Structure formats: C-alpha cells, structure tokens
A and B are shown apart, each in its own frame.
Chain A
Amino acid sequence: MIAIPFQAADWNAILPIVVLAVTSLAVLLGDLAAPKHVNRYVAIAIGCAGAIAAGVLAARQYGYDYGAFFGGFMTGGFTTVFEEIVLAALVGSLILYGALGPAERVGGTTALMLWSTCGAMLMAGAANLMTIFLGLELLSLGLYCLCGMVDRKQARESALKYLILSSTASAFLLFGMALLFGASGSVMLADLTNAAVAVNPLFWMGTGMFLIGLAFKLSLVPFHTWAPDVYEGAPLPVTAYMSVATKAATLAVFARFIYAALPSGVAEKLLLPIWIVAGLSMIAGNVGMLAQHDLKRLLAYSGIAQAGYILTAMAGASSQGLRYAIFYLAAYAFMNLGAFAVAAAISGDGEEGSRLVTYHGLARRRPWLAAAMTVFLLALAGLPPTAGFLGKILILSTAANTGFVWMGVALIVGTAISLYAYAKIVRAMYEPADDRRTHDATPIAPLAWASAAFCALAVVALTFYPLTPSNVLPLVR
C-alpha cells in the first residue's frame, strides 16, 4: 500500500470545499425525494445550509496560516475572507431561485452552483499554478452550464459565447503557466520570487500571458466585451452569482500573484500595463453604462469599472491596499447581490426586473424595495451613507500613499461619469407613476425581499463599522 503523504491538517484545510461538494450531492438526492410542489425550496434550503456550514468551517481557519498540500493551498485570513465572499455570493444568488425560473430545474442548478463555488473557493486559496487552473476550470465549467439553463435563445447564446471566449482566456492562462513553469522549474508561486527567474525571457512572456488570461476573466478593458452579452443572456441568479463570485475568485488569484509571486524589482515594470488597463476600465466601463436599458448589462459594465477601482487599491502592492481592496470587494458583493435581489423581487415569471422600464414609479408600488435599490445604486456610485463611499475614500487614500495618483484621478473621473447612469434609475423609480399602475401584479417573493433588506443593511452598516481583515499576509509559502 502506498502511504499517502498528506496529513490531517491538509484535509482540514479543504474541508469547507469538501462539505460544499458533498452538499451538492445531497441537493440532488433531496430533489429526487422531495414532493414536487416544494422541491424548489428543498434544494435551496439544503444548498444554503451547506454553504453556511462551509462558511463556519472556513471562518475557523481565519487566524491559522497553513500551506496545505505542500503549499499548494494556503489557508489563513486571506483565503478565509475570499471564501466567505464567494459563499455569500452563493447564498445571495441561490435564494433568488425562490422567486425565479422553472421549479423543476432548481435542484440541478443548485448543485451546479455549489460545485462551481468549490472551484471559486479553491482559487481563493490556490498558491500553485495547478491549483489555480483546477479551481478556475471547476468554476467555469459549472458556469457554462448554468448560463444556458433556461429556455431562451439569449441564454444559449450567452452560454456558448462564454464557453468560447472563456476557453480562449484559459488557453492564454495555461500557456502562460507553462512558460512560467519553464522559467522557474516549479509550479509553486513562491518559487517565482527567485531573482534568477526575472532575467529569463520566458518569465516575462509567461507573466504577460498569465495576466492577459486573468484580465479576461476579470473583464478588464480591452478584454471586456464578453461580459455584457453573457450577463444579459444568463438567468438572473446566475448573473448575480457570476458578477460577484468570478470576480472575487479571480481577484484572489490576481492579488496572490502580484503580492507574493513576483521577484523584487521587476513588479513595477511588469505590472504597469495592468494598471493602465485598470485605468481604462474605470473610464470605459462607466461610459459603457450610460446607454444601457437592461439592468444586467448595466451592472456588467459597472462591474468592469468596479474591478478597476479594486485594482487601484492593489496598485503599489501595499498591505493596506490589499485590505481596502478586500473591503471594497465585500461591499461590492453586497451592493450587487442586493440589486439583483430587488430585480428578482419585482420579476414575475419572466425577468421583468432586469429591464429598466420596470423600475418606473417603483417607489409608489414597492416603496421599501425602491428604497433598498436606491441604497445599492448610491453605493455603486459611491455616495454616502454607504460602504461604497467609504471604500472609495480608502482606495483614494491608498492611491495617494502609494503614488498612483493618476489611478485615483481615473477613479474620480469614472465615478463622476457613472453617477448619471445610476441616478437615472433612481429618478425613474421616484418619478410620479401614472395612476393606472399603482399596484404591482407580481407576488411578493419573501426570500428575495429578505436578501435585499439584509444587503441594504450591510451596505449601510459597513460604512460605520468598516471591518477590514487584519491578517491577510503571507499569501504563499
């Protein structure tokens, strides 16, 4: 018998992921056993319970730095925070299925979403090239299916487009990884910090392709064109999930790479293109929002810009900046999930909530939902009293500290542009509605409603109690 070289601590490190993976099997079984009229809720309940269990297990690893599997999967503060954000995205999106979509498919979609989350959590802790790719593909494969799991032409288009373009990005990423391996002779990110690696041209090419792959997944300009189309076509809960989870997981990999895997001295030159791309994203993403008539497309463009804001915090690779990037990401997760929850709550059988015309006069018909939506939109625009405001000021302060003032200026300009797009929706909601439609025909969706309320409270509360994780380093071993 071959002795397994891993210890209990190694398995403990991935226990949250294992729990989630097993839960999705339970979801499938529960879906079979449950009576037809409640199976939607059975799937959601089991899925959420598993996610919460995984969240608790992940939280217990918060202060416990350990490189499991010979350093291939790092536990500790950084991983925990990203895992929690991904899990929050999972729960926030899952419960939208309580209001939307055909009930008979909820079991399958829930299971897929859980598996996909396993991939995202793996990415959150991945510290070698193989785990990164494993996590990324696990995440993406689930999403390809999820995008297409509704009987609509756009959904199929969305799935296919996502598959093809995302695979292209994966190809870049994989080739970059191969070159990095060629340069360093190791798959460990930690081994890339060796100064001897920096002189190797393979390292430069590899890093370039690796970063292009990541930029593609993060939908930074000029690799952003897939995002609005894919978001628009996918079912609403999947869009909500995608907009937060893929972004968080990719940012985790990105942060680990730029903070911990670059030889000293070359980072400035090597990463300058990324900062320029981030600056362009802040401008182009916000300009792109102006002409949208669909909430999902609008939030896709918004996400392009928000990724740029988060990268501004990471520019200069200060440990403060990483904390603020995480803070902003967490705030962004709540804003986005909340906005999608409102959209789900005002949708009937279709997805009316994703069309902006539906929001006309919403304040009359659903005053609380309109108030919550206002909070989310103001937060996305960075107006007080929301976490978006505080997050922006923390990012700007980091930019001033690290000397990336021009990125701060791009953030300011982008934000000024974005306000019109967000406030336009606010205006539509508070416009005096014509009296014929003072009552909303769609039934109250309690889960979506509760999710919106929770997110609104979180977005406001984070302004006054800015929780930023204190132990986010070290990132590799």
Chain B
Amino acid sequence: MIVLATILLPFVAGAALYALPAGDRRISKAAGALAAVATFVMLLLGRDAQWSFHWLSRPFESAFDFGATPVSFWIALLLALCTACAILATNVPRARSMISLLLFLEGAMLGLFLARDLLAFALFWDLMLLPVFFALLGWGEHASTAWRYLIYNFAGGLTLLFAVAAFGAIYGSTDVIGRAGMPLVGSWAPWIFAGFAFAFLVKTPVWPLHTWMPSTYGDLPPPMVAVVGAVQSKAGVYGFIAIALAFMPDYMRQFSGLLIALGAVSMIYGAVIALIQHDAKRIVAYSSLSHLGLIVVAIASANPAALQGALVYIVAHGLFTAALFLILGYVEEREETRSLARLGGIGKANPRLAGALCIAGLAALGLPGLAGFVGELIIVIGVYQAGYAWAVIVALIAIVLASAYVLRLFQGIMNGPEVDDLPVRRDLTWIEGLAVAPLLAALVLVGVQPHAILAALGGVAP
C-alpha cells in the first residue's frame, strides 16, 4: 500500500493546493515541499514494498503493479529530491499552479519509474507529457515550443504504445519489469525493439532526435526545467536498462554500434554547441545532451561496470543539472537576462550564489570528489573493457570540452568586470539557499560514497 500511497500523494497534494489561498505563495511552497519531502521519506520506507491491482487478463496479462527495483529506487529518490528543491525555489507568477503542476509531474514520473508493468509504464509515459505541456503554455515564451514538445514526445509515446501492445500480444503478459524473463523472440521482435528504442531516444534525447529539447528547456520556468532536465530525461535511459536490456538483449547487442555512434555524436555535438551558445540555460541544455550521450554509450556497451557507472551518472547528472537550472533561475531573476553577452561580474556582490554555481559546475565538469567524476570514470573504464576504445576517446574529448563550457558559463556570469546597467540585487536568501543545498550536499555525498548506488546493479547486469 505504501507504494500506491507514494504515487498518489503528489497527485492528491497537487489537487489539494487549489484549496489553499492563491495569494500567498509561501503557503503553497511550504505545502508542496512538504508533500515532496513526504514522498521522499515514503520511498525510503517502502523500498521493498509492492502493490498490485489486476487490470487486464486479455489480450494479455496486465496489472497496475508498482514497486521499486534496485535501479528505479535511486531515480525515484532523485525525482523526489529534485521536486522538493524545485518547489522551494519556485518564484514565478501564479506560483500555486506551477507547484501543483510540479507535483502532478512528480506523481506521473513516480508512477513511471515504480511501474513493474509495461502498460502502466506506457500510461505514465504519456501522462508525464501533460504537466510540462501546460507549463510551456502557461509560462513559456513561444507557443510553438509547447507544440514541438508535445507532438515530438507524443510520437515517441505512440511508438512505445504500439510496441507495448505488440510485446503483450507476443509475450502474453506485460507485468514483467524487474523480473527475470525470457528474451523476446519472433519475427516482429526487431520492430518492437525499434518502437521502444525510438521512444527512449526521443525522450533522452539523442542526436538527431533532440530538436525539441533546447527550446523546451529554454522556455520552461526554472523549477520545472530543473525537474524535467534532471529526471524526465532519465525516463529514456531507464527504459533502456529496465526493458530493452532485460528483454531484448540480442537486439541491444545487434544495434549497439548504432546506439554508441548516436551517443558519441550527441556527446561531441552537444559539447560543441554548448561552447558557442550565449543563452545560459541553453548551455546547460546542450551539456545535458552531451552527458546523456555518455549514458547511452554506457548502456549500449552492455558492460556490467559501465552500467553501474551509468546509474551513478544518472543520479549525478540529475543532481547537478537540477542545481544548475535552479541557480541559473536565480541569476535570471536577479539580472533579468540569461545571456552571457550581457551578464558578468555578479559573483562579487553575490558570493553565495557564485559558490553554489561553482560546486554545481565543478560536478558537471567531472571534478574528482563530486558525483559526476565517479560516474564518468566507471563508465569510461567499462566502455573500454567492452572493447569500444574509440568511444572512450570521444568521451574523453567531450569531458575536456565540458570543462571549457562550464568554466565559460561560470566566468561569463560571475567573474569579470561588473556590468553597469545590470541591477545589483541581494545575495541568496536562506530559502533560496535551502532549495539548492540538498542537491549540492548529495553531489558531495555520492561523490565520496557511491557504493550504495553501485551495489544496485550488482546482480542485474547481464
């Protein structure tokens, strides 16, 4: 029951927010953050819990079956943490609606990650589009972004839907995630794999299916983009681990060259574009493309060590991406721009803001001692063991480029001469600090103690 309660709590809390007064955003923030923290605690408590409710017996067995797997447990924790932080950092007009959407998004994604049934997975996969779509409509700058996001991802969702339907028709049951099962066989199996893979690659995203991503990340308000960039992007790679690797390992092997190539191109392409962008948010967006390319390479190599590294890096990337987006949100609130061409020298008046950006940035470029490094290192070793030396070289180039664009981002905003016509605002308030502190602390914690996460894939890796 606790699993069901964990998934339903954000939905209920999101709806209940509308019963609170709209005027005072502090009340909404407190209530929303409380709900998100509560889901975090319930996830910890319900680590081994299961909940199942029969759904279909024909044309295939299916159930609303929920429960954390060792992998999804960590992603779900990441989600709850990011949501709590994002809600605390919410500082947008109509804050109550935004917080409510964040909670709906959390609920939908918890359902996705905790689902043990493919049909439930597909249901939440489509459901999680809606809060983001509404956020883009309500707070975005261009309506076209919302359409691009929705239609691109819905197309992915539809191929997933068809793949799940065909999977169920062949396999007889969709209640399979996290269970030992026979690999899928049959003449349609490659097409089913293709349907899954397309959906996952769009969602991740991977070059050349990424075109919806920079504009979406650029247009979303800071709290929402922190959650979307940190966690929603993990739905695709989680799908590869939990579904494609578990039930279609032959096809993963067969297409590993293609997937690794796509990941490698994403790494370099994302890093190079991040180097020349001026919009701070888009820099992080493209860096995300680059980092997720590395995760895709790790998964496609199917090496046990690389997979372990991928899971650590999934968590690490989530943490520093959420932190970066929230901090850039603070910068934009203060200076009313996020263009590197305009910004400069605000670190002097805002030392705490600069410090936070520094930690998050260092984690993003893979400084030893922070979470990003651990993941990158283990992935690189694993991919090398798997025999893809060229992919390792590409990954190292991308990591070097990461240093360049992160430092460019930091210096462009914080260092240099102060710009006269930019307003000087007060440094981080305690509540703004509180919103990013857990993320930064977790970065350090995972950086020095990654064992718990590494152990998650100890028995699962093929």
Q: Which residues of A contact B (CB under 8 A)?
A: 320, 324, 378, 382-385, 389, 392-394, 396-401, 405, 408-409, 412, 415-416, 419-420, 423, 427, 430-432, 464, 466, 468
Contacts and interface: CB of A to CB of B under 8 A. Distances in A.
Interface residues of B, number: 36
26 contacts: A320-B58, A320-B59, A378-B130, A383-B127, A383-B130, A383-B154, A384-B124, A384-B127, A385-B123, A389-B123, A389-B161, A396-B162, A396-B166, A400-B166, A400-B188, A401-B59, A408-B165, A409-B162, A412-B161, A416-B158, A420-B147, A420-B151, A427-B137, A427-B143, A427-B146, A430-B138
Contact of A397 (B134, B151, B166): B166
Contact of B138 (A382, A400, A405, A432): A432
Given A396-B162, A408-B162, 20 more contacts: A320-B58, A383-B127, A384-B124, A389-B123, A389-B161, A393-B164, A394-B165, A400-B162, A400-B165, A400-B169, A400-B170, A400-B188, A408-B165, A416-B155, A420-B147, A427-B137, A430-B137, A464-B55, A464-B64, A468-B58
Nearest to A324: B59
Contact of A385 (B127, B129, B159, B170): B127
A324 to B, nearest CB: 8
Interface string B185-223: 000100000000000000000000000000000000000
Contacts of A408: 162, 165
Nearest to A401: B169
B60 interface: yes
Contacts of B143: 427
Contacts of B147: 420, 423
Given A320-B59, A397-B60, A466-B55, A419 B166 contact: no
Interface in B156-192: 158-159, 161-162, 164-166, 168-170, 188
Nearest to A428: B137
A96 B119 CA distance: 36
Contacts of B158: 412, 415-416
A88 to B, nearest CB: 23
A389 B126 contact: yes
Contacts, number: 83
Contacts of A385: 123, 127
Nearest to A413: B158
A385 B120 CA distance: 10
Between A378, A385, A399, A464, the greatest number of chain B beta carbons within 10 A of the residue's beta carbon is seen for: A385
A93 to B, nearest CB: 29
A412 B191 CA distance: 14
B150 interface: yes
B55 to A, nearest CB: 7
Nearest to B188: A400
A396 B55 contact: no
Nearest to A423: B150
Chain B binding surface SS class: helix
Interface string B122-149: 1110110110011001100001001100
Contact of B122 (A324, A393, A409, A412): A393
Given A400-B166, A412-B159, A394 B59 contact: yes
Contacts of B162: 396, 400, 408-409, 412
A466 B124 contact: no
B319 to A, nearest CB: 29
Interface string B45-62: 000000000011011100
Contacts of B129: 383
Contact of B165 (A397, A420, A464, A466): A397
Given A385-B123, A416-B155, A392 B161 contact: yes
Contacts of A412: 158-159, 161-162
Contacts of A464: 55, 64
B154 A419 contact: yes
B165 to A, nearest CB: 4
Contact of B119 (A393, A398, A427): A393
A398 B143 CA distance: 37
Contact of B154 (A392, A399, A416): A416
B146 A397 contact: no
B130 A396 contact: no
Nearest to B124: A384
B103 to A, nearest CB: 16
Given A412-B159, A427-B143, A427-B146, A397 B168 contact: yes
A164 B109 CA distance: 53
Contacts of B166: 396-397, 400, 405
B87 to A, nearest CB: 21
Between A399, A409, A416, A432, the greatest number of chain B beta carbons within 10 A of the residue's beta carbon is seen for: A416
B115 to A, nearest CB: 12
The 5 A-B residue pairs with the shortest CB-CB distance, nearest first, are: A396-B165, A397-B165, A400-B166, A384-B123, A400-B169
B36 to A, nearest CB: 21
A311 B264 CA distance: 44
Given A412-B159, A419-B151, A397 B123 contact: no
Nearest to B154: A419
A457 B127 CA distance: 17
Contacts of B165: 393-394, 396-397, 399-400, 408
A416 B129 CA distance: 14
Nearest to A432: B138
A272 to B, nearest CB: 21
Contact of B169 (A382, A397, A415): A397
Contacts of A432: 138
Nearest to A323: B58
A8 B137 CA distance: 62
Interface in B260-303: none
A361 to B, nearest CB: 12
Nearest to A431: B137
A416 B151 contact: yes
Interface in B407-451: none
Contacts of B64: 464
